[in-house]
């Protein structure tokens, strides 16, 4: 599956096709070549003959840059985050990763109490230019290896939150994150890494993106209209962008034109793009893989309800996972995660 209308034709014509993994790897390589302060920290990211991390993103980088800059760590997410925060405060630009986003809970003190607050507590004298990469999303691994955690970190002042849905955005956002002087959480959906390679994911989709030869950055806080429409606005992130686009295609067959917005970053959030769309369509549907209660979609609904109330012709609706842990059985996981059918049904209800 690929995203339509995501780039201008002239860029696409001169570009290369890459998977999310390849695009992220190229971003890391380019930034490490550009700035010797950029280092990588994580489990199994530089093992000789290894995978290159849990999902092969760092494959080959240890051979090019050496183990002084591609640093394998013990199995301790608290240590990984703590070392990254300390190295960033000391002048380096670490890119750390955890093998599964769920393990960020082990590092909450280092991320939420240290990295996020040092700049504020020091009156701007300290900065923490670190990136924490975290794979998220349900992939038949059960309750402790399949959560979507964006809302937890959206709630922490001082952290920026990025969530790319495709390789082009993945590369551009990661390069921007590495150059940012604030700590950034970079959430990557496991099913968007691709279905090929040494660590292929069951159910993964081959999202190929056009990657230009020339360098580019994607500014934080700029959402993308992935599909234009007039009848309803659908706001989504990560895997749900693709399911929302599939739902929009199905809705179009019955004359309902849905506008799909890929948020790209949750902090900072592009309120202007969402508000402008809602003022045109008069309806808003928010789609996220996380649990319904307290999800990032609730914040979007509250904000749009306050800023666009007079334009709304129907209540704001959210499609999200139930308030239960992620199930392990594939049939239950398929029921749990928002589907194209769920999104279509919700959109039809709002438009009718």
- Do β-strands 93-97 and 224-227 pair in parallel, antiparallel, or remain unpaired? unpaired
Q: Looking at the domain assignment, is residue 272 inside a domain?
A: yes
Q: Looking at the domain assignment, is residue 88 inside a domain?
A: yes
Q: Looking at the domain assignment, is residue 217 inside a domain?
A: no
Using the 3D structure, point to which of 212, 239, 265 is the last residue of a domain. Answer: 212
Per-residue pLDDT of the chain (352 residues; tens, 9 = 90+): 334 444 444 444 445 899 999 999 999 999 999 999 999 999 999 887 778 999 999 999 999 999 999 999 999 999 999 999 999 999 999 999 999 999 999 999 999 999 999 999 999 999 999 999 999 999 989 999 999 999 999 999 999 999 999 999 999 999 999 999 999 999 999 999 975 555 566 667 778 888 999 999 999 999 999 999 999 999 999 999 999 999 999 999 999 999 999 999 999 999 999 999 999 999 999 999 999 999 999 999 999 999 999 999 999 999 999 999 999 999 999 999 999 999 999 999 999 8
- Do β-strands 265-267 and 70-72 pair in parallel, antiparallel, or remain unpaired? unpaired
For residues 63 and 183, state if they share a domain. Answer: yes
Query: How much is the pLDDT for 200?
Result: 62
* Domain that residue 290 falls in: 224-351
For residues 24 and 66, state if they share a domain. Answer: yes
User: What's the token pair of residue 279?
Assistant: 């003022």
3-class secondary-structure state, position 123 = coil
Query: How much is the pLDDT for 202?
Result: 64
User: What's the token pair of residue 173?
Assistant: 């956002």
Q: In what helix (H) or strand (E) does residue 209 lie, and over which residues does it extend?
A: strand 209-212
Give me the catalytic one of 145, 155, 303, 317: 145
For residue 194, the domain's CATH number is 3.40.50.970
For residues 154 and 37, state if they share a domain. Answer: yes
Query: How much is the pLDDT for 49?
Result: 75
CA distances from 75 to 80, 144, 313 (A): 9, 16, 52
For residues 75 and 124, state if they share a domain. Answer: yes
- Reply yes or no on whether 145 is catalytic: yes
Which residues fall within 8 angstroms of residue 317, CB to CB, at 6 or more apart? Answer: 284, 285, 286, 346, 349, 350
Tell which residue, 180, 178, 201, 185, has the closest CA to residue 81. Answer: 185
Query: How much is the pLDDT for 98?
Result: 96
For residues 204 and 64, state if they share a domain. Answer: yes
Are 88 and 62 in contact, with CB atoms under 8 Å apart? no
For residue 273, the domain's CATH number is 3.40.50.920
């Amino acid at each position: 599956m690929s995203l339509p209308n995501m780039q201008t034709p002239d860029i696409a014509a001169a570009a290369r096709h890459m998977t999310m993994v390849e695009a992220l790897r190229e971003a890391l390589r380019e930034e490490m070549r550009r700035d010797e302060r950029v280092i990588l920290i994580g489990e199994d990211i530089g093992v000789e003959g290894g995978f290159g991390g849990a999902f092969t993103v760092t494959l080959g980088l240890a051979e090019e840059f050496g183990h002084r800059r591609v640093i394998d760590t013990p199995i301790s997410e608290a240590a990984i985050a703590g070392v990254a925060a300390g190295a960033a405060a000391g002048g380096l630009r670490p890119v750390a990763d955890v093998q599964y986003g769920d393990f960020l809970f082990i590092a909450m003190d280092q991320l939420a109490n240290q990295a996020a607050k040092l700049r504020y507590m020091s009156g701007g004298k300290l900065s923490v230019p670190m990136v924490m990469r975290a794979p998220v999303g349900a992939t038949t691994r059960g309750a402790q290896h399949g959560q979507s955690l964006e809302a937890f970190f959206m709630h922490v002042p001082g952290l920026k939150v990025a969530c790319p849905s495709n390789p082009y955005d993945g590369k551009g956002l990661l390069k921007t994150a590495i150059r940012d002087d604030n700590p950034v959480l970079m959430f990557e959906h496991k099913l968007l890494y691709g279905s090929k390679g040494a660590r292929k994911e069951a159910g993964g989709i081959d999202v190929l993106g056009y990657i230009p030869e020339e360098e580019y950055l994607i500014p934080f806080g700029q959402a993308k209209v992935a599909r234009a429409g007039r009848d309803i606005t659908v706001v989504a992130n990560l895997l749900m962008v693709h399911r929302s686009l599939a739902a929009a295609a199905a809705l179009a067959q019955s004359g309902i034109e849905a506008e799909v917005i890929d948020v790209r970053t949750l902090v900072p959030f592009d309120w202007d793009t969402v508000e402008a769309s809602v003022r045109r369509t008069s309806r808003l549907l928010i789609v996220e893989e996380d649990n319904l209660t307290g999800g990032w979609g609730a914040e979007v609904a509250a904000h749009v309800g306050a800023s666009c109330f007079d334009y709304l012709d129907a209540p704001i609706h959210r499609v999200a996972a139930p308030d239960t842990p992620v199930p392990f059985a594939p049939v239950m996981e398929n029921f749990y995660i928002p589907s194209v059918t769920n999104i279509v049904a919700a959109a039809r209800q709002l438009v009718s």
